[in-house]
A and B are shown apart, each in its own frame.
Chain A
């Protein structure tokens, strides 16, 4: 590029002309052509998006937010729902760990004797691949969809929520544990395997001690995510705060919605704090 000629204001007007003007205009035009059908499809170009009646209704609804409902029986119910949200997340994650952690260890390559040329047996790969496929299916289906299905199997209530968190959680935990073991425990576990340890021995004395910090901190993070999820599972009937919010919304009860939203925000913040606190405690040395 050549230096633009200097003038009194510092730069000549030729420097102000955008050399790629036509190109930029073309991109903008293309953007508009793409955006219009997208906006229409996303429902934002409907003429009756905001009409006076729905505005008035939402105004009344919002006005009901203050004061938030604070009668004692209702507060007790909110507390109960908040606890069951946490309990669903914790119980679901506990099951996910019990099932997912062994599956993750089985799926990890760090513990494979075949990979280290020690053990020439195709059966091992035959185990690993189906487990990986199972984990992909489990975590591919979101908790809400599992819950939708499970509510039909075990009925409305927390059981469906626990099972939903457990199913997606197993897939996520299994994958993450396999990845963590492969990333941090390849060398210690490999050294044990090379010297004749069994896969179980290599897991217990090589892989687990090396991978423990990451495994635990991932578990704490997963719990935080499970709390966020179980807070909305109630919208499909799986118990907890979500169910109460759904109910209050159906009754257009603004003041209850306000209290429940506050409880939700507090709960998520609390879970955030607790999980960070646990991770800090684990990271501190001695």
Chain B
């Protein structure tokens, strides 16, 4: 029976070296950091740690605090929603221009090279937008628009528009080109072809990507306040700085609840879209 089996595949040299290389890399990383968890493993530290963690309980729940917490939660929710909406509004035209979707195919036959160059430049811009994390955008925008939710909202929309434009451009490129080509070849304008041939076909996928961005934006929005950009993160930062651990616990719970709520909402919306 063993004779009928194919020969055992031989790993390539790269595959042989990979485990050793990875282990050496991990060791180098761990050794190069000056890690000290002594504070955690001191004889007296156990009690201290227990006292510290015990300080989080119970989460604050008096009415005035809950009111401010509700306000901050609403602010985070608004930041995520507006940030996503702005990103979608910016990303869709960019995606339409930068993709090579069906509605441009007919046009490309007649046009010359410069559009390709412009498209490459545009794609580079998108990479720049999305490779700077939301938190860094927020910290940069603080200089221009000051402390508050505005910088957070704009930061979310900048990062997301880079991500979303790429995802949507890919969605547009993967469409069945037939409907758009039919319109284009019969004399419809590029815009008309996009609006009536490409967009209706792509809409579910585009909306689904937008919902995905909303889900990740609400997670980011909850944290942007750590650099001063409003919402729950800002409250968390303040309560940690003042060592109000009861408040911090309540804020983290509010974050988790908001994220779970948005996830559920987005799941519902997506299911109704796909039907």
Q: How far is the CA of A49 from the CA of B236 in the complex (A)?
A: 24
Residue contact A90 to B29, C-beta cutoff 8 Å = yes
Residue contact A278 to B18, C-beta cutoff 8 Å = yes
Residue contact B37 to A154, C-beta cutoff 8 Å = yes
Interface residue A158 (Cβ < 8 Å from any Cβ of B): yes
A225-253 interface mask toward B, CB cutoff 8 Å, 1 = contact, 0 = none? 00010011001100000100110010010
Find residues 168-220 in chain A having any chain B CB closer than 8 Å to their own CB: none
Contacts of B128 in A (CB 8 A): 265
Residue contact A42 to B83, C-beta cutoff 8 Å = yes
Q: Which of A44, A58, A87 contacts B30 (CB 8 A)?
A: A87
Q: Which of B9, B22, B135 contacts A235 (CB 8 A)?
A: B135
A150-168 interface mask toward B, CB cutoff 8 Å, 1 = contact, 0 = none? 0011110111001100000
Most chain A CB inside 10 Å of its own CB: which residue of B35, B40, B81: B35
25 contacts between A and B (CB under 8 A): A39-B82, A41-B74, A41-B79, A42-B79, A44-B153, A44-B154, A54-B146, A57-B143, A84-B32, A86-B29, A88-B33, A91-B29, A142-B223, A144-B135, A152-B240, A153-B52, A159-B35, A162-B33, A231-B133, A242-B135, A245-B136, A282-B18, A284-B14, A284-B15, A286-B10
- Among residues of B, the one whose C-beta sits closest to the C-beta of A31 is B85
A59-93 interface mask toward B, CB cutoff 8 Å, 1 = contact, 0 = none? 00100000000000000000000011011101100
User: Known contacts A142-B219, A154-B40: does B33 contact A84 (CB below 8 Å)?
Assistant: yes
- Among residues of A, the one whose C-beta sits closest to the C-beta of B28 is A87
Residue contact B237 to A148, C-beta cutoff 8 Å = yes
Residue contact B25 to A155, C-beta cutoff 8 Å = no
Contacts of A39 in B (CB 8 A): 78, 82
Smallest Cβ distance from B275 to chain A, in angstroms?
A: 19
**Chain B residues within CB distance 8 Å of chain A:** 9-12, 14-15, 18, 22, 25-26, 28-30, 32-37, 39-40, 49, 52, 74-75, 77-79, 81-83, 85, 128, 131-133, 135-136, 139-140, 142-146, 148-154, 219, 222-223, 226-227, 230, 236-237, 240, 248, 252, 255-256
Residue contact A43 to B15, C-beta cutoff 8 Å = no
Contacts of B146 in A (CB 8 A): 54
Residue contact B30 to A94, C-beta cutoff 8 Å = yes
User: Known contacts A90-B25, A149-B240, A249-B139: does B149 contact A42 (CB below 8 Å)?
Assistant: yes
Contacts of B151 in A (CB 8 A): 43
Find residues 84-110 in chain A having any chain B CB closer than 8 Å to their own CB: 84, 86-88, 90-91, 94
Smallest Cβ distance from A8 to chain B, in angstroms?
A: 16
Q: How far is the CA of A58 from the CA of B26 in the complex (A)?
A: 41
Smallest Cβ distance from A96 to chain B, in angstroms?
A: 12
Contacts of A149 in B (CB 8 A): 240, 248
- Among residues of A, the one whose C-beta sits closest to the C-beta of B30 is A91
A252-286 interface mask toward B, CB cutoff 8 Å, 1 = contact, 0 = none? 10000100010011001100000000100110111
Contacts of B227 in A (CB 8 A): 235, 246
Contacts of B139 in A (CB 8 A): 235, 245-246, 249
Residue contact A264 to B136, C-beta cutoff 8 Å = yes
Interface residue A121 (Cβ < 8 Å from any Cβ of B): no
Contacts of B153 in A (CB 8 A): 42-44
Interface residue A29 (Cβ < 8 Å from any Cβ of B): no
Most chain B CB inside 10 Å of its own CB: which residue of A37, A249, A282: A249
Q: How far is the CA of A39 from the CA of B10 in the complex (A)?
A: 60
Q: How far is the CA of A42 from the CA of B145 in the complex (A)?
A: 13
- Among residues of A, the one whose C-beta sits closest to the C-beta of B133 is A232
Smallest Cβ distance from B190 to chain A, in angstroms?
A: 19
Q: How far is the CA of A51 from the CA of B74 in the complex (A)?
A: 26
Interface residue A130 (Cβ < 8 Å from any Cβ of B): no
Smallest Cβ distance from A168 to chain B, in angstroms?
A: 12
Residue contact A286 to B9, C-beta cutoff 8 Å = yes
Interface residue A141 (Cβ < 8 Å from any Cβ of B): yes
Smallest Cβ distance from B37 to chain A, in angstroms?
A: 6
Residue contact A145 to B132, C-beta cutoff 8 Å = no
